[in-house]
């Protein structure tokens, strides 16, 4: 088993991972930027190392300093969390080269599945249904040819994409060229790689993803699916498990996800993402890391996914077999962001003057904030997640509403009321929503009192 793990991340996910390590008797090393010296993850780890200045480029993306910190503190493994270096194959390879265990799949697997265009090719090989589109990255000319075949609307997507960036919709043929260069430019700025591919835009789909776990001994299992259709600009806002899909579709998706994982000899936790409409389900990408929304799956299965990641990385067999995985009740997660929805969701870092978190059966608050903590302006605006577990979907919705009503975060604007507006919306309650829900109802969702 692992004895000492370095956590190459910050915020709520760093705290989440440190807690899992402590519960397993594993020592922890936190790393932090100058701006994060008072952060919760620094306080609760056994040891903490400053790895650089405020910007992510200087610190949480600084591979050399992170590897040095691991070597100097005797950490035998690095957990990358999500975002930052979590899907960076160069970093995973660097870890392999210096004999540090990267808690995730091998560098070669990240390479294959992290390039979204390449991943689609592999999925076609594995007989997993994918969204129709180009066969890999395209030049302008090749893209135009694909458009002739599949028609509009279509999407131009960055093969290095993530977090909803590097993506452009084309509704009319004449707009293709402009969108092509815009997507390339955004991809270059965000991911330093400007390759793009083209796929059909599935109109009004649901985003459904399947969580999988795999160990080094060929055992692969799924932990069911999550519905992450409530999105703003292709970024998830509310997630839940299970979804409302028919049992037969769910089962076909589980099978496809396991086939996908087996095809690339996948090891550790991963997620296969699909868009789903009346005609079927289509692979869009695989995330080769722990995801933000993993707690909803933990709530309905009782399985600690980070613990399984640590066990698998330490060379153990998965603790569960497929028949041990049973789903109970319904779980919902909302992402709490330091942002002001009424000012076009402008980030709102600053001092938390007061924090009050309600407690109760089936209520979980994953965050790194505390009273008197100042949220630095340099990183992602997500500051925490509220997760609830209920007997049924309606029960979970009610529990989430009452939890948000009681949650107090004073000092900065957050999206808390905006989230409540979604939870009150009759279409959301009925389950009549798809990835266009927020855009379609935005005006109404912003009518809360401040």
The residues that touch Mg ion, with contacts defined as CB under 5 A, are: 273
Cα(103)–Cα(149) distance, rounded to whole angstroms?
Answer: 42
If the CB atoms of residues 211 and 301 are measured against ligand ADP, the closer one turns out to be 211
- Which of 119, 221, 275, 334 forms a contact with ligand ADP (CB under 6 A)? 275
Q: Is 113 in the site for ligand ADP (CB under 6 A)?
A: no
Judge if the upstream peptide bond of residue 30 is cis by omega within 30 degrees of 0: no
- Helical packing angle, 116-125 and 107-114, nearest 10°: 90
In the list ligand ADP, Mg ion, none, the entry touching 163 (Cβ below 5 to 8 angstroms by class) is ligand ADP
Asked if residue 53 binds ligand ADP (CB under 6 A), the reply is no
> In angstroms, what is the minimal distance from the CB of 236 to ligand ADP?
5
55 binds ligand ADP (CB under 6 A): no
Q: Quick one: which segment of 46-54, 364-372, 378-386, 422-430 binds ligand ADP (CB under 6 A)?
A: 378-386
Q: Is 82 in the site for ligand ADP (CB under 6 A)?
A: yes
195 binds, among ligand ADP, Mg ion, none (CB under 5 to 8 A by kind): none
Q: Which is nearer to ligand ADP, 2 or 415 (CB)?
A: 415
Distance (Å, rounded) from C-alpha 384 to C-alpha 292? 10
Q: How far apart are CA 435 and CA 232, in angstroms?
A: 8
- Residues near ligand ADP (CB under 6 A), total: 31
From the list 310, 308, 321, 335, the residue with the least C-alpha distance to 416 is 335
Binding of ligand ADP by 201 (CB under 6 A): yes
Pick between residue 191 and residue 448 the one whose CB is nearest to ligand ADP: 191
Of 56, 110, 113, 423, the one binding ligand ADP by CB under 6 A: 56
- Between CA 46 and CA 44 the distance in angstroms is 7
41 with 7: CB under 8 angstroms?
yes
Please give the residue whose beta carbon sits closest to ligand ADP in the complex.
83
Angle at 317 between CA 220 and CA 217, to 5 degrees: 55
Nearer to ligand ADP, 2 or 334 (CB): 334
How many Å separate Cα 120 from the centre of its chain?
19
Least distance in Å: CB of 25 to ligand ADP?
Answer: 27
Among residue numbers 131 through 190, which ones bind ligand ADP (CB under 6 A)? 131, 155, 161-164
Contacts of residue 26, defined as CB under 8 A and 6 or more positions apart, other chains included, come to 1, 2, 3, 4, 5, 310
Is 111 a residue that touches ligand ADP (CB under 6 A)?
A: no
- Beta carbon of residue 216, minimum distance to ligand ADP (angstroms, whole number): 24
Residue 386 phi/psi, 5-degree rounding, is -105, 130
Structure tokens at 7: 């956590």
Please report how close the Cβ of residue 155 comes to Mg ion at its closest, in angstroms.
13
The entry of ligand ADP, Mg ion, none near residue 11 (CB within 5 to 8 angstroms by kind) is: ligand ADP
CA nearest neighbour of 311 among 2, 57, 5: 2
| 87/273 with CB nearer Mg ion | 273
* DSSP output for 256-322: HHHHHHHHTT--EEEEEEEEEETTEEEEEEEE-S--TTHHHHHHHH---HHHHHHHHHTTPPPS--G
312: tokens are 């698998």
Could you tell me which of 124, 312, 281 has the C-alpha nearest to residue 212?
312
Question: Measured from the CB of residue 428, what is the shortest distance to Mg ion in angstroms?
Answer: 21
Buried b (16+ CB within 10 A) or exposed e, 261-289: beebebbbbbbbbbbbeeeebbbbbbbbb
Nearer to Mg ion, 79 or 157 (CB): 157
Backbone angles phi, psi at 357, to 5 degrees: -115, 120
Which residue, 2 or 369, has its beta carbon nearer to ligand ADP? 369
Is-catalytic flag, 289?
yes
List 79, 120, 168, 207, residue binding ligand ADP (CB under 6 A): 207
% helix, strand, coil for the chain, step of 5: 35, 30, 35
Interatomic CA distance for residues 198 and 184, integer angstroms: 12
| Structure letter (DSSP) for residue 433 | -
Residue of 39, 89, 211, 287 interacting with ligand ADP (CB under 6 A): 287
- Does 419 bind ligand ADP (CB under 6 A)? Our answer is no
Residue of 168, 226, 289, 311 marked active site: 289
- Which CB sits closer to ligand ADP, 11 or 104? 11
Q: Candidates 243, 291, 348, 417: give the one binding ligand ADP (CB under 6 A).
A: 291
| Residue 292 site contact among ligand ADP, Mg ion, none (CB < 5 to 8 Å, cut-off depends on kind) | ligand ADP
Q: Which residues are catalytic?
A: 289
| Positions that interact with ligand ADP (CB under 6 A) | 11, 56, 82-83, 131, 155, 161-164, 199-202, 205, 207, 231, 234-236, 273, 275, 284-285, 287, 291-292, 379-380, 382, 435
């Amino acid at each position: 088993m692992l004895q000492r793990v370095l956590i190459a991340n910050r915020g709520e996910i760093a705290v989440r991972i440190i807690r899992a390590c402590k519960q397993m008797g594993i020592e922890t090393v936190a790393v932090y930027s100058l701006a994060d010296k008072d952060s919760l993850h620094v306080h609760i780890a056994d040891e903490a190392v400053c790895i650089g200045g405020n910007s992510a480029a200087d610190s949480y993306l600084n591979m050399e300093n992170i590897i040095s910190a691991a070597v100097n503190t005797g950490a035998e493994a690095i957990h990358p969390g999500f975002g930052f270096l979590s899907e960076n194959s160069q970093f995973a390879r660097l870890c392999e080269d210096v004999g540090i265990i990267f808690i995730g799949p091998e560098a070669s697997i990240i390479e294959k599945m992290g390039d979204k265009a390449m991943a689609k090719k592999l999925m076609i090989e594995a007989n997993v249904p994918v969204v129709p589109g180009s066969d890999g990255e395209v030049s302008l000319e090749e893209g135009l040819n694909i458009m002739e075949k599949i028609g509009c609307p279509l999407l131009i997507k960055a093969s290095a994409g993530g977090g909803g960036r590097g993506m452009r919709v084309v509704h009319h043929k004449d707009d293709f060229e402009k969108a092509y260069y815009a997507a390339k430019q955004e991809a270059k700025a965000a991911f330093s790689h400007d390759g793009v591919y083209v796929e059909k835009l599935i109109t009004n789909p649901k985003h459904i993803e399947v969580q999988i776990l795999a160990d080094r001994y060929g055992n692969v299992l799924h932990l069911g699916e999550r519905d992450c259709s409530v999105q703003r600009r292709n970024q998830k806002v509310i997630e839940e498990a299970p979804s409302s899909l028919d049992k037969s579709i769910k089962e076909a998706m589980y099978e496809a996800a396991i086939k996908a994982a087996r095809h690339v000899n996948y090891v550790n936790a991963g997620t296969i993402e699909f868009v789903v409409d009346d005609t079927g389900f289509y692979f869009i990408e695989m995330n080769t890391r722990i995801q933000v929304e993993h707690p909803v799956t933990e709530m309905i299965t009782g399985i600690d996914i980070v613990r399984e990641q640590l066990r698998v990385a330490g060379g153990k067999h998965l603790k569960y077999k497929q028949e041990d995985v049973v789903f109970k009740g319904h779980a919902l997660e909302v992402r709490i962001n330091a942002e002001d929805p009424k000012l076009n969701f402008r980030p709102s870092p600053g001092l938390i003057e007061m924090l009050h978190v309600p407690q109760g059966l089936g209520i979980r608050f994953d965050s790194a904030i505390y009273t008197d903590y100042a949220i630095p302006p340099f990183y992602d605006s997500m500051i925490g997640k509220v997760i609830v577990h209920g007997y049924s979907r309606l029960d979970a919705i009610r529990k989430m509403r009452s939890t948000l009503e009681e949650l107090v975060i004073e000092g900065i604007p957050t999206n808390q009321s905006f989230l409540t507006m979604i939870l009150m919306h009759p279409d959301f309650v009925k389950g009549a929503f798809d990835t266009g829900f927020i855009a379609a109802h935005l005006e109404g969702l912003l009518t809360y009192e401040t």
